[in-house]
Amino acid sequence: MRPKYRVYGFRLLTSSLVGILNGLLRVEPSIGILTFILAYFLVTPLSLMIWRGELKEIGLMELYKEAIGTSLLALILTWSLSMNLTGYGVVIYVVKANGSGIYPIETLDGRKLPPGNGELFGYYAVNLTLSNGVVNRVRIGACLERGEKTSLMMGNYELTFRGDELTLRTHLNLSNGEDREFLRKMFGNLTLYRNGTLALGNLSLSLNTVKEVKLGLFNLSLAYQRFPLLSLELRASLEHQREFPVNLFLSGVTDRDSQLCVFDAKDIKVGRRSFNVRDRHYVVIITEG
Q: Find out whether 64 and 44 touch, Cβ atoms under 8 Å.
A: yes
Dihedral sign (CA 14, 78, 269, 105) = negative
Q: How many CA atoms lie within 13 A of 73 on its CB side?
A: 4
Alpha carbons within 13 A on the beta-carbon side of 231: 12
- Using the predicted structure, report yes or no on whether residue 64 has a pLDDT greater than 70: no
Q: What is the overall mean pLDDT for the chain?
A: 84
Measure CA 257 to chain center: 32
- Indicate if the alpha-carbon torsion angle 176, 182, 187, 190 is positive or negative: positive
> Does residue 168 carry a pLDDT above 90?
yes
Segment among 145-154, 220-229, 238-247 with least mean pLDDT = 145-154
245 prior amide bond cis, ω within 30: yes
Pick the more confident residue, 30 or 237: 237
Output the pLDDT for position 71: 83
| Section 167-184 average pLDDT | 94
Lowest mean pLDDT among 64-78, 190-204, 227-241, 246-260: 64-78
* Residue 57: band (very low, low, confident or very high) from pLDDT cuts 50, 70, 90: low
- DSSP string for 140-189: EEEEEE--SEEEEEETTEEEEEETTEEEEEEEEETTSHHHHHHHHHHHS-
pLDDT at 268 over 60: yes
- Using pLDDT thresholds of 50, 70 and 90, give the confidence band for residue 233: very high
Q: What is the mean pLDDT of residues 140-157?
A: 86
Q: What percentage of the chain exceeds 90 in pLDDT?
A: 35
Q: What is the mean pLDDT of residues 35-43?
A: 85
pLDDT bucket at 140, cuts 50 / 70 / 90 = very high
Residue 88 has pLDDT above 60, yes or no: no
Pair 29, 37: CB distance under 8 Å: no
Q: How confident is the model at residue 158 (pLDDT cuts 50, 70, 90)?
A: very high
Per-residue pLDDT, 23: 82
The structure's pTM equals 0.67
Cα–Cα dist 217/206, whole Å? 25
Distance CA 164, CA 171 (A): 24
Higher pLDDT, 146 or 218: 218
Segment among 187-196, 229-238, 279-288 with least mean pLDDT? 279-288
Ramachandran class of 98: left when φ > 0, alpha when ψ lies in -120 to 50, beta otherwise? alpha
Spatial distance between the Cα atoms of 169 and 254, rounded to a whole number of angstroms: 19
